Amino acid sequence: MIPAHDLLVFAGASLLLVLTPGPNMLYLISRSICQGRGAGVVSLAGVVLGFFVHMLAASLGLTALFMAVPLAFELLKWAGAAYLLWMAWQALRPAGASPFAQTVELPAESPRKLFAMGLFTSILNPKVAIFYLSIFPQFVSAEHGSVFWQSVTLGMVQISTSFSVNLLITLFAARIALWFKDNPHWLRVQKWVMGAVLGGLAVRLAMEQRR
């Protein structure tokens, strides 16, 4: 069983993942603002199914392989740390902008197409793929039991966190965008807090030892 402390750290990393602007967030915000909350929720259902695809891909062998091969673990560890630093830079860079200010105009689509677009946006999202491939092995240890069920547990934590946050963003996208427009100083606060925490996670990951 994964220690509670590790689960909390992983949950924090998952929260940062969903709060960091990316294809999923931009698509859900744009869809919700352009076509309404209902369309946003249907799109979110597709995005969540995409998370399950990533989770199963990691759980059904990839994580076990990385834990068994020291070189693979080291490569993924440094790749993960570099990716977290890149996300920290994306949050802090002067030209960075909030996804609430980057919404794109989208035409109205049927529920089936909304679900499919959300699914493929999630499956093809490199941010989620890299998170699962490089961060998962840092929280899995053969000493804590089945690697498969540890991976499933971590995946459910990430999925639950992402679903909860994305649902709130989808339901209140228009209001949040308006609030940030009226309070631009909070965007700067968000950038610095997120950048600092992501940088700290990158350092922690770089110092992680194979278990």
Displacement of CA 184 from its chain's centroid (Å): 24
Secondary structure in 3-state letters for the chain: CCCHHHHHHHHHHHHHHHHCCCHHHHHHHHHHHHHCHHHHHHHHHHHHHHHHHHHHHHHHHHHHHHHHCHHHHHHHHHHHHHHHHHHHHHHHCCCCCCHHHCCCCCCCCCHHHHHHHHHHHHHCCHHHHHHHHHHHHHHCCHHHCCHHHHHHHHHHHHHHHHHHHHHHHHHCHHHHHHHHHHCCHHHHHHHHHHHHHHHHHHHHHHCCCCC
Are the C-beta atoms of residues 191 and 92 closer than 8 Å to each other? Answer: yes
For the chain, what is the mean pLDDT? 77
Which of the two residues, 68 and 38, has the higher pLDDT score? 38
Q: Is the pTM above the cut of 0.75? A: no
Q: Which two tokens stand for residue 148?
A: 């498969």
Q: Could you read off the pLDDT of 66-113 as tens digits, one per residue?
A: 556 656 666 666 776 776 677 677 666 665 555 555 555 677 889 999
Residues 6+ apart with CB under 8 A from 62: 133
Are the C-beta atoms of residues 115 and 40 closer than 8 Å to each other? Answer: no
38 pLDDT above the threshold of 60? yes
Q: Exposed e or buried b for every residue in 53-66, given b needs 16+ CB within 10 A?
A: ebbebbbeebbbeb
Q: Could you read off the pLDDT of 187-197 as tens digits, one per residue?
A: 666 667 767 76
Q: Which two tokens stand for residue 67?
A: 């834990």
pLDDT at 101: 55
Q: Confidence band (pLDDT; 50, 70, 90) for 43? A: very high
